[in-house]
């Protein structure tokens, strides 16, 4: 049994706050990590998505000379090794979750360098350095804490890599204005219809950094609209997965910043042949889900915003609540609260 939605008031406020929140962190002092030592980035869910992007930045900026690991905090707390040589960066919205704090304890015991990226609040993670992102979000569907975590991760990566990180640092300075412009761009009503009226799975795809954004977008769709969404790399979506596509599949494709061997077009052709609606997210004002153009390195901070806004508009249509992520209704409230995170 469901109850009426309490809406998206807090969620919408947090989405709108992102330009100022990111700008406020551009000069925040960060520790200088050593690119010659292992860099382990860890979190869960949205926080892990931010870590995956940061690990990709390290690879891209160094041409693969330096490779960072992005690991789920649950695995790192229980089964993965941590050594004194490691530099462990833990990302957590509130700083209170069990697995991220267990990672910090294990890392400290091993003698590793530790950095915690978390929101403002009473939690004091036991890390060598604690970097604060933004005030705690009232909405359970996190947005601004994701983009601000990405901002601090970008600053850590750019600072650690020195001259190799200059492109990222320069691009990051363009993000607040790009966020503001993106928030003003209209979304296509047909894209909102496709999500709100979805009777089958929602597919979100992308390549490279966009594949991580797709994962974050799919999570927001699940949390905020109660629709099942799956994120896939565009290439993966063409291998085996078309067996389950149908006219009830709603496709949201992140149009790539660079060449993708035509695979986004191939995927669109397959989906349309099966009768599925397809909508693009791109740095194109004519796209269904548009965002302002920025250097490719910082697309993850901007390209996620149309999906955040899409969730709010679809939730208003369906009676879902991005603020409460189904905690407003039974049996979800009891089931969700039965598990300690």
pLDDT in tens, 297-313: 999 999 999 999 999 99
Alpha-carbon distance of 228 to 234, in angstroms, equals 18
Alpha-carbon distance of 231 to 284, in angstroms, equals 22
What's residue 3's pLDDT? 39
CB 210 within 8 A of CB 303: yes
Span 219-228, pLDDT tens digits: 999 999 999 9
Q: What backbone phi and psi angles, to 5 degrees, belong to 199? A: -110, -10
**SS3 category, 131:** strand
Residue for token pair 């020195």 = 162
- Distance from CA of residue 186 to its chain's centroid? 21
What's residue 6's pLDDT? 59
Residue for token pair 């599925």 = 276
Confidence of residue 7 (pLDDT cuts 50, 70, 90): confident
Q: Listing from the earlier edge strand, what are the strands of the sheet with 87-92? A: 69-72, 39-43, 87-92, 113-120, 129-135
Q: First CA to last CA across the chain, in angstroms? A: 25
pTM of the shown model: 0.97
Sign of CA dihedral 306, 309, 311, 315: negative
**SS3 category, 86:** coil
Q: Is the pLDDT of residue 1 over 80?
A: no
């Amino acid at each position: 049994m469901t109850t009426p939605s309490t809406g998206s008031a807090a969620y919408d406020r947090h989405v709108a706050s992102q330009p100022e929140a990111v700008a406020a962190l551009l000069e925040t002092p960060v520790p200088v990590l050593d690119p010659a030592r292992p860099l382990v980035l860890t979190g869960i869910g949205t926080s892990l998505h931010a870590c995956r992007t940061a690990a990709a930045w390290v690879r891209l900026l160094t041409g693969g000379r330096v490779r960072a690991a992005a690991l789920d905090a649950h695995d790192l707390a229980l089964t993965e090794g941590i050594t004194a040589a490691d530099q462990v960066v833990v990302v957590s919205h509130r700083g209170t979750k069990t697995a991220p704090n267990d990672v910090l304890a294990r890392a400290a015991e091993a003698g590793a360098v530790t950095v915690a990226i978390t929101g403002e609040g009473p939690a004091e993670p036991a890390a060598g350095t604690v970097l604060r992102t933004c005030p705690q979000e009232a909405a359970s569907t996190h947005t601004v804490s994701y983009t601000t975590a990405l901002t601090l991760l970008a600053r850590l990566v750019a600072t650690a890599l020195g001259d190799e990180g200059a492109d990222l640092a320069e691009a990051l300075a363009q993000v607040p204005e790009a966020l503001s412009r993106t928030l003003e761009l209209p979304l296509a009503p047909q894209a909102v219809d496709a999500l709100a009226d979805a009777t089958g799975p929602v597919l979100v795809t992308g390549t490279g950094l966009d594949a991580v954004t797709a994962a974050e977008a799919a999570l927001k769709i699940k949390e905020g609209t109660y629709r099942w969404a799956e994120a896939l790399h565009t290439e993966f979506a063409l291998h085996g997965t078309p067996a389950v596509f149908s006219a009830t599949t709603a496709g949201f494709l992140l149009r790539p910043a660079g060449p993708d061997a035509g695979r986004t077009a191939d995927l669109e052709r397959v989906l349309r042949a099966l009768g599925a609606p397809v909508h693009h997210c791109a740095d194109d004002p004519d796209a269904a889900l548009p965002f302002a153009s920025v250097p490719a390195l910082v697309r993850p901070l901007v390209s996620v915003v149309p999906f955040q806004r899409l969730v709010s508009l679809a939730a208003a249509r369906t009676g879902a609540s991005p603020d409460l992520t189904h905690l407003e209704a039974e049996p979800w409230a009891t089931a969700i609260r039965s598990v300690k995170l």
